[in-house]
Amino acid sequence: MISSSGPLHEPVPTHHAQFYRCVNRKLRNNSCMNRNNFDLEDCRVVLALVEARSFRLAAEKLGQSASTLSRSIAGLETRLGARLFDRDTRNVEATDEGLAFARLAERLLNTAAGGVADFNAFLNARRGRLVIAGLPSVTAGLLPELLERYVIAHPEVDLRILDALSDSVVASVANGEADLGFTAGTVGTRDQLSFQALMDDQFVAVGRHDGLLAEDRPYALAELIRMPFIAMARGTSVREILDGACGLAGLQVEPRFEVSHLATAGALVAQGLGVSAMPQLTLPVLGGRDLIIRPIADFGASRRIGLVWRSGRTLSPPARAFLKLVRSGPLQGSN
């Protein structure tokens, strides 16, 4: 054994003594570090031997030879710097150190089993978190039915819905705030997003049941915009498509009211202050029992609804499960 006191017959030079003290210190540190040098298999081995109190019986339970088990225990004791078992030709008994390690081993194995169960649940989309961003009209008109089916299949997944305008939907998916996003139109390659078209959301005329659209027939776009017209604000997907359709027809809409929220547009229409042209998915958001819808004969455009996610990034299991659900069949309200 290395000693800082040096050999028995002659004194150790000071620099040698300093060297020996340094070596001893490192050996003690390494001994402490080695006490962390065990794995879950070591834990299983110790627990099996504590329970069986026999190398032969424990080895049979573990599916290995008694000699292999004996070497494993001896190696673990060496690494830990502690004797875990007293053994003779007949008996194997855990020492106090062995019982203490067994308690630690049981906690570690239980924690590992719980962690593996959580991980498997996550991989199978039974647990986890899913954030979906979407246009308010889509989250209100399309998402409830999808979420009902999703929650039945994945009841323990935490869900968060972000209502936002189209540009904000794209941004929230691009920066990772949302896993998936329902948006209108397509996305540019600069956004590094994948886009899957899901449906075309057709525009209809919306009016009060006893108002300007009381006659049950299709209405021409030119006829519609000559009435007191309630339009969404510029910058919204609804307004962009409306302006585009009017441009193709050589028309220009001059709204009587311009609003930022669909519910406000619906309230103004229900009050009889005008008519509007809206995608069908917006109807649940417009609200109002007094509203009626009529076909627009020559609108010439629709709103392409699609799902976006980040390109080149692996979707989480809950997000993959939702995407699979969306792709599995026709969407409610699709044409």
Which of 87, 121, 155 terminates a domain? The answer is 121
169 belongs to a structural domain: yes
Which CATH number covers residue 178?
3.40.190.10
pLDDT at 165: 79
Instruction: Write down the pTM of the prediction.
Output: 0.63
> What does the pLDDT read at residue 160?
94
Number of domains in the chain: 3
Nearest to 162 by CA among 131, 185, 137: 131
Q: How far apart are CA 5 and CA 2, in angstroms?
A: 9
Q: What is the pLDDT of residue 187?
A: 65
Residue 28 lies inside a defined structural domain of this protein: no
- Classify residue 79: in a domain, yes or no: yes
Same domain, 179 and 318: yes
Same structural domain, 184 and 314: yes
Maximal CA-CA distance, the chain: 120
Low-confidence stretches of the chain (pLDDT < 70) are 1-36, 121, 124-125, 186-191, 288, 330-335
Dihedral Cα 138, 247, 291, 200, nearest 10 deg: -30
Terminal-residue alpha carbon distance, the chain = 86
Q: Are residues 70 and 134 in the same domain?
A: no
Are 181 and 311 found together in one domain? yes
Are 168 and 152 part of one and the same domain? yes
140 with 230, same domain?
no
What is the per-residue pLDDT for 14? 47
* 150 domain-assigned: yes
Note whether 168 and 309 are same-domain residues.
yes
Task: Tell whether 102 and 155 lie within a shared domain.
Answer: no
CB 302 within 8 Å of CB 185: no
Do 308 and 180 share a structural domain? yes
Contacts of 99 (CB under 8 A, 6+ apart): 50
Identify whether the C-beta of residue 61 lies closer than 8 Å to the C-beta of residue 48. yes
Range of the domain at 88: 40-121
